[in-house]
């Protein structure tokens, strides 16, 4: 791994890759004390930038879920390659502009490893506190590996998962630790094991929203099993998560309370987002593509992407507004603050449950779950229950809502790759830009992001092979 980007925040001291973690624990910075107690280690999991921050910029660009200005496309050649689906471009030569996903995830994993390795020896803590902190770190570590695998490796397919490479697994916080690039099957088995062994030690409510508790672990297991096509277990864990938190935010009330501002065609002031640390749908909060250390606005939407929201979607109407500036027309963001875009929420679990029901022959029940979500989103004068007995139509409706609800996270990308493997759901993306038609096939190699060159220049104590040709 790239040593200078693996950080350990220990009581305000930043230790870089100049020494291993084990060495660091024997080298006392002047004026500091060695991290030995629970009170020393627990704050490491409150580092929002280092632990709870993930960018998946290129996945969002590839899906064309955001509006990107021509100036940015001209400056960032990798953005241009993904945004315009340029299959002839060798993205490996450009991906020094997309290192954050890799290094940010492994930085978070390093902090989790530090907690897990030292859990049994933490002093001034009860056994339950030690176990809970280690279990929390395991949930975070598993989530990081889910993002990495669904960004840099092929999507999970039972017939190929044991033969295709995923990403390196690192078990130690020592920056010189050996690592192995495992198969997709091995990484999924590892994530499931991490979560299953954590459940008994997790509380119903975490120390903070940055500390995933039992509901978050069940939510992540539901996500993983759905990705694997194990619908009965996805449904089981979705139900377990919803038993712990089944709240949905009332976007209809929010819209009514802010209707004058929302409907004003000239009011583009940025307002506080409710999708923050206190959002009632949170199991676990994780920042998205924008930096976590300061308040940010959301991405702007392409006009054609905005058209894929349901008419009367109060959540959409509350977040974006059509705007023209110079030659560009797009949906401008109207919200600022801290956004839970890469975490775990009840709405995702509801939609996992809906799909799992539809996949297992309970289409009507799946539609009831989908409509439960929609009733908190779609304005009353536009709302009607969606009803069908066709599982294919049901799943298409479920994924329309899911892609909109989880926009700018890893999930629309991960879901699209998964559905592209099924004839009933795979689609070719198309658009016309400045008179030129573009398309992206479901079989395109662009659906796998290349590892950054820095990972090969500084491989650490292991080997790494690229998962995509270009």
Under the banding of pLDDT at 50, 70 and 90, the label for residue 33 is low
Provide the percentage of residues in the chain whose pLDDT is more than 70: 92
Instruction: State pLDDT tens for residues 73-112.
Output: 999 999 999 999 999 999 999 977 678 899 999 999 999 9
- Name the pLDDT band for 28 (thresholds 50, 70, 90): very low
Give the pLDDT band (50/70/90) at residue 10: very low
Cα torsion 87, 145, 335, 375: sign: positive
How wide is the angle at C-alpha 398 spanned by C-alphas 355 and 407, nearest 5°? Answer: 115
Count CB neighbours of 14 within 10 A.
10
Q: What is the pLDDT of residue 97?
A: 65
3-249+343-462: CATH class: mainly alpha
Phi-psi region of 7 (alpha: psi -120 to 50; beta: other; left: phi over 0): beta
* Residue 27, burial from CB neighbour count under 10 angstroms (0-12, 13-18, 19+): exposed
Interval 302-319: pLDDT, tens:
999 999 999 999 999 999
Map tokens 């910029």 to a residue: 57
pLDDT tens for 315-356 read 999 999 999 999 999 999 999 999 999 999 999 999 999 999
| Model pLDDT for residues 218-268, shown as the tens digit of each residue | 999 999 999 999 999 999 999 999 999 999 999 999 999 999 999 998 899
Per residue in 97-108, pLDDT tens?
A: 678 899 999 999
Average pLDDT of the residues in 430-454: 96
Tokens of 137: 């770190």
Query: What is the distance between the alpha carbons of residues 279 and 144, in angstroms, rounded to a whole number?
Result: 22
Contact 303, 331 (CB under 8 A): yes
Tokens of 44: 């490491």
Tell me what pLDDT residue 212 has: 98
The whole-chain average pLDDT of the chain stands at 91
Strand ranges inside 122-208, DSSP E: 165-169, 178-183
pLDDT by residue (tens digit) across 379-428? 999 999 999 999 999 999 999 999 999 999 999 999 999 999 999 999 99
**Angstrom distance (rounded) from CA 187 to CA 166:** 7
φ, ψ of residue 202 in degrees (nearest 5): -90, 140
Given a contact cutoff of 8 angstroms between Cβ atoms, the answer to whether 82 and 63 are in contact is no
Residue 95 neighbours by CB under 8 Å, 6+ apart: 78, 449, 450, 451, 452, 453
Residue 98 is predicted with a pLDDT of 76
Q: How much is the pLDDT for 35?
A: 78
Tell me the average pLDDT across 38-44: 94
> For residue 145, which of 96, 97, 178, 112 has the smallest C-alpha distance?
112
- Confidence (pLDDT) at 207: 96
């Amino acid at each position: 791994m790239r040593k200078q980007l693996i950080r350990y925040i220990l009581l305000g001291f930043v230790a870089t890759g100049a020494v291993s973690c084990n060495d660091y624990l024997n080298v006392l910075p002047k004026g500091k004390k060695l991290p030995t107690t629970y009170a020393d280690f627990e704050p490491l999991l409150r580092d929002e930038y280092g632990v709870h921050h993930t960018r998946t910029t290129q996945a969002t660009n590839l899906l064309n879920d955001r509006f990107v200005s021509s100036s940015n496309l001209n400056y960032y050649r990798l953005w241009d390659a993904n945004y315009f689906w340029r299959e002839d471009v060798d993205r490996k030569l450009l991906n020094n502009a997309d290192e954050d996903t890799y290094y940010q995830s492994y930085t978070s994993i390093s902090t989790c490893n530090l907690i897990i390795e030292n859990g049994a020896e933490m002093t001034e803590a009860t056994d339950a506190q030690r176990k809970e902190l280690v279990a929390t770190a395991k949930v975070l570590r598993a989530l990081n590996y889910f993002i990495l695998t669904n960004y840099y490796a092929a999507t999970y397919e039972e017939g190929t998962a044991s033969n295709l490479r995923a990403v390196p697994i690192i078990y130690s916080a020592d920056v010189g630790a050996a690592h192995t690039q495992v198969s997709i099957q091995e990484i999924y088995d590892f994530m499931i094991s991490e979560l299953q062994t954590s459940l008994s030690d997790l509380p119903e409510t975490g120390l903070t929203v940055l500390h995933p508790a039992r509901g978050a672990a069940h939510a992540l297991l539901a996500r993983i099993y759905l990705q694997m096509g194990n619908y009965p277990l996805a449904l089981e864990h979705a139900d377990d998560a919803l038993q712990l938190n089944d709240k949905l935010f009332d976007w209809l009330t929010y819209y009514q309370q802010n209707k004058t501002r929302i409907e004003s065609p000239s009011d583009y002031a940025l307002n506080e987002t409710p999708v923050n640390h206190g959002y009632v749908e949170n199991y676990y909060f994780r920042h998205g593509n924008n930096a976590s250390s300061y308040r940010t606005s959301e991405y702007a939407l392409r006009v054609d992407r905005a058209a894929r929201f349901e008419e009367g979607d109060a959540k959409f109407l509350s977040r974006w507004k059509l705007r023209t500036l110079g030659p560009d027309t797009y949906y401008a963001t109207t919200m600022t603050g801290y956004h839970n875009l890469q975490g775990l929420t009840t709405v995702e679990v509801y939609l996992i449950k809906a799909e799992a029901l539809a996949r297992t022959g309970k289409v009507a029940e799946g539609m009831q779950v989908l409509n439960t979500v929609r009733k908190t989103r779609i304005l009353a004068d536009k709302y009607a229950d969606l009803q069908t007995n066709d599982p294919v139509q049901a799943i298409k409706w479920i994924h329309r809502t899911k892609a909109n609800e989880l926009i700018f996270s890893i999930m629309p990308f991960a879901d699209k790759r998964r559905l592209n493997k099924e004839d009933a759901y795979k689609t070719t993306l198309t658009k016309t830009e400045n008179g030129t038609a573009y398309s992206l096939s479901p079989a395109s190699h662009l659906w796998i992001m290349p590892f950054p060159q820095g990972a090969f220049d500084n491989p650490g104590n292991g080997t790494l092979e690229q998962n995509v040709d270009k």
